[in-house]
Amino acid sequence: MKKSSILGIIVIAVAIAVIISTYSTSSTYGSFNDAKKSTEELHIVGHLNKVKELYYDPTKDANYFSFYMLDNKGEECKVVFTGTKPQDFERSEQIVLTGQMRGREFHASKILMKCPSKYTQDKIETTEYKSKQASL
Amino acid sequence: MTKVFEGEHLLPGQLGQLFIILSFGSALLSAISYFYAANQRDQHDQSWYKLGRLGFFINSFSVVAIGACLFYIIYNHLFEYHYAWAHSSRTLPTHYIISSFWEGQEGSFWLWTFWQAVLGNILIWKAKTWEKPVMAVVSLSQVLLSSMLIGVEILGSRVGSSPFILLREAIEAPIFSRPDYLQYIKDGNGLNPTLQNYWMTIHPPTLFLGFASMIVPFAYAIAGLWQRRYKEWVSAAIPYALFAVMILGTGIIMGSFWAYESLNFGGFWNWDPVENASLIPWLVLISAVHVLIVYKNTGHSYFTATFLTLISFVLVLYASFLTRSGILGETSVHAFTDLGMFWHLVIDIMVFLVLMVGLLVLRWKELPFSQKEEETYSREFWMFVGSAFLALSCLQLVVVTSVPVWNAMFKTNIAPPANPITLYNIFQGGFAVVIALFLGFTQFLKYKKTDATRFFITTLVYMFVAALITGVIIYITGLYKLRVVFMLAMFGAVYGVLANAKVLGDALKGKLKLAGSAVAHIGFALLLVGALIAAGTSKIVSQNETGVIRVKDFDKAGNPRENIMLYKNEPVTMGDYQVTYFGDSLVAPNHYFKVDYKRFDASGKVKEHFVLMPNSQANPKFGLVSSPDTKHYLLHDLYTHITAAPIKEEESMAAGATEASHDHANEDSHYNPPVVYEASVGDTIRFREGYMILRGLNKQPKLQNIPLKDNDVAVGAMLDIVSHGKAFKSEPVFMIKDGNSFDFARKVDDAGLKLRLSKIIPEKNKFEIMVYQQPESAKPYIVMRAIEFPYINFFWSGTIIMVIGFLMSIFRRNSELRVVPVKTGAKPVKKKPALVR
């Protein structure tokens, strides 16, 4: 067999490995109900329950922020985020959380929110907040 | 029934729109004419050729004219135009007006067409026999790019998006029914504050020059297949490919520098889809350059070289689709929205993909495949393998970044990886190991055939030395706490530096033409070293220890608490530093927080003292946007940014008011209930955060606008206050005027105090002093995060070295180009006969 064919096989094998591992590490969008059943991190799309209280008091703990979110199926859950409150959180239209359930609270490691802009109705802005620093 | 609106300047927009149409038409003319010119057999008929050139010159002129019109509109704040209104404002300084010019999609498309026009003119000047086919492809690309700017309705759907659309056409609102609506549009939206950074003035032009220049190698490859000049195009394309790689690489790193300097995600690379989109074509073109060089030197791997060159440009278009079609909506921070160009962008990709695949299939039988097997101990074989891995690393990026595309195509509901940064880091770290090792040991191989024994001896000697050095680095920097793959990557990078340093050393002794690649490789390897250490061992200095168990590595399991709270003028110990938030300064619209850093040596003396001023902008449109401030050292950086602060609305900030309004009725509610002390001169009064001494009495206190008569008495209590190691003075005044007693309170805002001299008790020779203290929560505070990035300068200097290496290579390849045509046929130019094969 030609060396380049062997190489070709290796390349294809690595490519397949990449795709499989990507698929296996990817999660699906879920609901709070799914999160209760799972121990994995997953993504939940929903919106803020603006009636209930947002709690952030940096004088007590600068790294604790909690709020109530309704997922797309309408289920409500308390969400805890270890970090500062994202600015303009109250105005968010849609929230995508990444995290997992701990007891009855959903602990989010990442919040991606979309805010309508005050001035332009034709634009939606997206902002992401992470509680942890990116690291290797 | 056209309505007349007052005060609108319609001329520049109409002119601009005219030039857009002209640029589209002339590009089309140029593409068609060049196509016929290239296919023509009759060498004497120059008409198509002249028409092609003419078309391109008109196109270049119109593109410049579009830019001039748009700039005129933005510079003169003509907010009747949507683009000017959406991206700029009156307060923007000129250099940010330039940034706002390319903030929007239309502006960045313009930038792209502009650079493509410039490159086209260079090609007309330089390409000689290649001009006709190459320019046909470049013009075709110019046609598609200009069509993105047209913004006219064709068959019920809008094609492209014009930057000259009027505000009243872009947005529907009742206000636009008034003829004098412009009076109510005082100012534009302004530029997103995170983009108000000097890197944003130069990063987009560089990046788009990089993107635009990738058309050139693509056009050469197409021209080579089309004109059946299969081998010739390679040498001509290499310098352009190197140029594209150099510029795009510089642009990408500039972007990461901007992220580091002005975004607060805490780092220089975030694997954001938009970042990946720029990296993907870069990696593929680098891999293409290597295989092109392999082909040029040995005649092997023709197909791979052509394929990679072609696909790299298609990937540029794909990247542009990813970032502009709005498909990444849920995964990306970048606020790109669908301008209704989804299918337009897809068509753009398909045109070039079909062109590429079609020509390859059509010419398949004629392609110069090499029948010989490569030697195992040859440079070309391992360069080829290394390039394949580079392309694979890119494949991983494409597959993962495109998750939303797969969802759209296959109607699936896959979420992107929960922790993309870790995923990318591990994968790309793995590829980096292989690639770095390859760029090291291939240096010891020769083209065609290498003496195996000698090769193994040198390789192993260098590997051994590299392993030793890596061990030391890993030990010193603490890299051993990370995953093995990153340590291996470090080993690969160190090995790469050493091996290429040897080549560079040899090159300086004589074989100078090899220096370019050696320098570029050293730069790339150093960049890896810097990125690995800085990203891998960066540490949060602002660890919040309250409520957190201080056990080593606890933060790996639990939640690291990265933000600390600083009250004004209260020093807090943070790592090795004592930090104090001691003041603010307002340069509207930026609110700078002054943070004082002190470091002490063992004996308690101040070893180091500096002030960092991270800023936040309370922007009505964008919310609170923080930019970090960084203290640069030779071997590390200390980076500080504000994550939360009780920030005032912009209006009050502009007035310069940082303190609460002076509403007397409400004022005492800002303080805790007062504590009353009776003190004599010399007494000390203690309060929660310090103490004060009643130094003495001032019989003639200053009182504004209150004339004192003979019977009136005014006394000021001279108080020396010490709070958190800082000294203040204050003088509350007690006064008897016309038989009534008054007192004038004094506030010491920085100490959170309000003081009153409320009574004089002559019989005891004492004075009643009331001390109001602000409750903790009412005091000004900031929540900040500080990160230390060790050895980050390797990352930046690696980049610069790499760019220098690319430049040297471009000069070398370009000079080869000049020598070859003159001597071809007479005798082999260099020692390598492969050159003229």
- Residues in chain A, pLDDT under 50: 117-127, 133-135
* Residues of B with Cβ-Cβ distance to A83 under 8 angstroms: 562-563, 643
How distant is the alpha carbon of residue B521 from its chain centre?
Answer: 23
User: Is B374–A4 a contact, with Cβ atoms under 8 angstroms apart?
Assistant: yes
Task: For residue B214, give the nearest of B263, B147, B280 by alpha carbon.
Answer: B280
pLDDT of residue B688: 80
User: Is B544–A121 a contact, with Cβ atoms under 8 angstroms apart?
Assistant: no
Task: For residue B55, give the nearest of B67, B63, B44 by alpha carbon.
Answer: B63
pLDDT of residue B348: 93
pLDDT of residue B783: 82
CA distance linking residue B722 with residue B695, whole number of Å: 13
pLDDT tens digits for range B318-372? 999 988 887 776 665 554 556 678 888 999 999 999 999 999 999 999 888 877 7
Of B418, B486, B564, the CB nearest to A42: B418
B677 vs chain A: nearest CA distance in angstroms? 29
Of B189, B559, B787, the CB nearest to A120: B189
pLDDT of residue B832: 38
pLDDT of residue B582: 86
pLDDT of residue B311: 96
Residues of A (13-72) whose Cβ lies below 8 Å from B: 14-15, 18-19, 21-23, 25-29, 40-43, 45, 56-59, 61-63
Q: Give chain B's mean pLDDT.
A: 83
* Residues of B with Cβ-Cβ distance to A28 under 8 angstroms: 413-415
A14 vs chain B: nearest CA distance in angstroms? 8
Whole-model pTM: value is: 0.82
User: Residue A19 in contact with residue B399, Cβ under 8 Å?
Assistant: yes
B80 vs chain A: nearest CA distance in angstroms? 14
Burial class of residue B805, CB neighbours in 10 A (0-12, 13-18, 19+): buried
pLDDT of residue A135: 47
- How does DSSP classify residue B174? G
User: Residue B715 in contact with residue B762, Cβ under 8 Å?
Assistant: no
User: Is B565–A7 a contact, with Cβ atoms under 8 angstroms apart?
Assistant: no
Residue A51 token pair: 């009636």
pLDDT of residue B660: 39
Task: For residue B502, give the nearest of B449, B411, B439, B582 by alpha carbon.
Answer: B439
pLDDT of residue B624: 62
* Residues of A with Cβ-Cβ distance to B264 under 8 angstroms: none
Residue B275 token pair: 């970042």
Of B333, B535, B547, the CB nearest to A136: B535
User: Is A84–B171 a contact, with Cβ atoms under 8 angstroms apart?
Assistant: no
User: Is B266–A134 a contact, with Cβ atoms under 8 angstroms apart?
Assistant: yes
pLDDT of residue A46: 85
pLDDT of residue B350: 95
What ipTM was reported for this prediction?
0.71
CA distance linking residue B266 with residue B792, whole number of Å: 13
Contact pairs from chain A to chain B, CB under 8 Å: 162
* Residues of B with Cβ-Cβ distance to A7 under 8 angstroms: 384-385, 388
**3-state SS, residue B608:** strand
Pairing status of strand B726-730 against strand B733-737: unpaired
* Residues of B with Cβ-Cβ distance to A132 under 8 angstroms: 559-560, 562
CA distance linking residue B286 with residue B177, whole number of Å: 55
HSE, side-chain direction, 13 A CA sphere, residue B225: 25
**3-state SS, residue B436:** helix
pLDDT of residue B295: 92
User: Is A136–B536 a contact, with Cβ atoms under 8 angstroms apart?
Assistant: yes
Q: List C-alpha distances in Å: B603 to B257, B607, B619.
A: 38, 10, 45
User: Is A130–B265 a contact, with Cβ atoms under 8 angstroms apart?
Assistant: yes
Of B417, B421, B546, the CB nearest to A25: B417
- Residues in chain B, pLDDT under 70: 1-3, 264-265, 329-339, 544-560, 587-589, 618-624, 647-669, 704, 776-778, 818-837
pLDDT of residue B412: 79
Task: Give the number of other Cβ atoms within 10 Å of residue B347's Cβ.
Answer: 12
* Residues of A with Cβ-Cβ distance to B775 under 8 angstroms: none
CA distance linking residue B814 with residue B241, whole number of Å: 11
